[in-house]
A and B are shown apart, each in its own frame.
Chain A
Amino acid sequence: MAELAAIALNATSYVLILILVALGLVVVFGMMGVINMAHGELFMLGAYVVVAAQGAGAPFWLAVLAAPLVVGALGAIIEGLLVRHVYRRPLDTILATWGLSIALKQMVVLSFGPASYSVVAPVEATIAFGTFAYPVYRLILMAIAVVVIAAVFWVFLRTDFGLAARAVIARPDTAACLGIDTRRLYRASFVIGTAVAGFAGALVSPLISVDPQMGLGYLIPAFLSILVGGAGPLAGVLAGGAVVGGTDSLLTVWLSPVVAQIAVFGLAILVIRLRPQGLLGARDGA
């Protein structure tokens, strides 16, 4: 029983982290059709903000709050200098942001070195579930992740900004004709997407070893989650993240992590191929 609880908790925390990473991606991809290959590196930068803060002796929670601001500001610069110029060439965004991801990774190598860092969790306590102890920090992380995910959904589904954003997603030209400033919305969405990535990286940093290569391990599952869930509706990312993350966590119980990952990727590719509109997408792709 206790073992089952541990599996369920681990699966839930991985799913929530994956959704958090994928959410920033899907905002940018669903809205602007921009494939941001540097998203994993923005996630990584969020973790490095915590590493830098820890080195300077700043408190953990301050660093977690600073991470989305730092990474979001970087997102605004990236949007202005790079992404803005390739909006009309969606496939070129893959290449351009790929170049960016290489550059970001190398900047981190140059300033922090290629080795990995470990971040000390702010809460060391554990909570006992029957026979096994579960770190309290993971529970806090899950609660925060749920709040952030809910907040992003609230912004896009319940505010005027979100209404305008969804109008731009559905019919960009018509939205522009109606006087919506699409340029400003694109920039705002990109910054929100990158800030969420930075925040996710900062939150996860105590659980993993922070190194310059960490982004890719989250980028591919996040992309697969989006495509499995369906890139159209925002809720698709919840379904996709749950399927990809949940399957991975459950298979890891019986299989080695490598085999589990290969199995999950294969399964995700099969779903994407057979149902390209995603689990939650409508048949006509609307």
Chain B
Amino acid sequence: MAPRGLAVLVFAVLMAFPAIGGDYWTDQLTRYLLFGLFAMSLSLVWGRGGILCFGQAMFFGGGGYVMAALTMGLVGGGLAGGLLTSTYIGLLAAVVAAAVFAALLGYFLFWGKGLAGAYLAIVTLAIAFMLEQLIKSWYALGADNGLSGVPPLDLGAFGWHLELWDPAPRYYAVLAVVLAVYVGLDRLLRSPFGIVLTAVKTNPDRAAFFGYRVLWIKLVTFVIGAAIAALAGALFVAVDEFASPTLIGFGLSTEVLIWTALGGKEMVLAAFLGALAVRVMEGYLSESLGDYWILALGLGFMLSVVLLPRGLIATPIASLAARLRGNRR
């Protein structure tokens, strides 16, 4: 668990960023924050829950498509005086749809003896691949071209509009959501539920023996993870004004896996910073390194898995925190 002081520091820096970063980087960082939120969801599901999901982007992209379809008015646009095109309804529908889908999928995957480990990884990978193929040939949703012209975030309601077009307000709106989710996750993982989750991850049989319902605990974790991923995806399409099939499939699923693993999958804050760090580096380095950037990312990922399996960001944080605790004693 990341020390709270560090989390306060990280979010303080993020709050101050638009004042020094300029409009371009503020806009970029808005997107990176959402990728970070996405990485948090995988950190919960995989790092803390032990559910190696190779298809986490199905929730991110799925949430994005629900948001895009609703706010663009593709689904009953004229109904209820345009109520369905509201940002709030879009976000809510994206989160609920992903949660329901995850509950059904999770039940299918985990009941009885359940799939785990490599089997689960391959099956979720295949599901993400299937969904990407499906969305690519779904003409009502733009097929290969995706949906462009997704309306921006609109904080107004009941006919009163407050559309967020400028980078800074949009950034703060997204940061507020990210902060709220982080605080919620931190509390959840420090609660008795978090301890039981660790027990289920470490030794499911023993946890079941103590009377915990392993299936339910896994399902709740999987569903919360899916809901967070969908929230990130829904906000992302509104910020990017574009929903494309790449958001749902295999490519993004493995990218988020890399961010989470590089940062440190067991520590939610580290996974979040991992996504931010990789994206910022990509922004800077992909111009100077060109195609070599992806090569470096692949090799770096390989090295970190072999040498620092707990993550490049989580390992130093954990050792620092241990040292601080030692001094206090």
Q: Kindly state the separation between the CA atoms of A50 and B119 in the bound complex, as whole angstroms.
A: 33
A25 to nearest B CB, angstroms?
A: 11
Q: Chain B interface: which size bin? A: 35 or more
**Pair B301/A82 contact, Cβ less than 8 Å:** no
Which residue on B lies nearest to A103, using beta carbons? B298
Q: Kindly state the separation between the CA atoms of A92 and B301 in the bound complex, as whole angstroms.
A: 11
**Pair B309/A220 contact, Cβ less than 8 Å:** no
A109 at the interface (CB under 8 A from B): yes
Report which of B118, B119, B129, B298 forms a contact with A102, defined as CB distance below 8 A.
B298
Q: DSSP class of B's interface residues: helix, strand, loop or mixed? A: helix
A223 at the interface (CB under 8 A from B): yes
Known: A106-B291, A216-B250, A276-B115. A95 touches B305 (CB 8 A): yes
Chain B residues within an 8 Å CB radius of A89: 309
Q: Kindly state the separation between the CA atoms of A104 and B295 in the bound complex, as whole angstroms.
A: 8
B127 to nearest A CB, angstroms?
A: 7
Chain B residues within an 8 Å CB radius of A145: none
Q: Kindly state the separation between the CA atoms of A89 and B117 in the bound complex, as whole angstroms.
A: 11
Interface flags for A88-126 (1: CB within 8 Å of B; 0: not) read: 011110111011111111110110000000000000000
**Pair A273/B109 contact, Cβ less than 8 Å:** yes
Q: DSSP class of A's interface residues: helix, strand, loop or mixed? A: helix
Instruction: Give the residue among B136, B261, B306 with the most A Cβ atoms within 10 A.
Output: B306
**Pair B305/A92 contact, Cβ less than 8 Å:** yes
Instruction: Give the residue among B121, B126, B291 with the most A Cβ atoms within 10 A.
Output: B126
Q: Kindly state the separation between the CA atoms of A91 and B113 in the bound complex, as whole angstroms.
A: 19
Chain A residues within an 8 Å CB radius of B298: 99-106
**Pair A86/B301 contact, Cβ less than 8 Å:** no
Known: A99-B298, A106-B294, A273-B108. A90 touches B126 (CB 8 A): no
Report which of B115, B130, B258, B302 forms a contact with A272, defined as CB distance below 8 A.
B115
Chain B residues within an 8 Å CB radius of A261: 130, 133
**Pair A220/B119 contact, Cβ less than 8 Å:** no
Chain B residues within an 8 Å CB radius of A94: 52, 118, 121
Binds B, one of A61-69, A133-141, A162-170, A263-271: A263-271
**Pair A82/B302 contact, Cβ less than 8 Å:** yes
Interface flags for B205-230 (1: CB within 8 Å of A; 0: not) read: 00000000000000000000000000
**Pair A110/B295 contact, Cβ less than 8 Å:** yes
Interface residues in chain B, defined as those with a beta carbon under 8 Å from any beta carbon in chain A: 52, 108-109, 113, 115, 117-119, 121-123, 125-127, 129-130, 133-134, 136-137, 250, 254, 257-258, 261, 291-292, 294-295, 297-303, 305-306, 309
Interface residues in chain A, defined as those with a beta carbon under 8 Å from any beta carbon in chain B: 29, 33, 35, 82, 85-86, 89-92, 94-96, 98-107, 109-110, 216, 220, 223-224, 227, 256, 258-259, 261-262, 265-266, 268-269, 272-273, 276
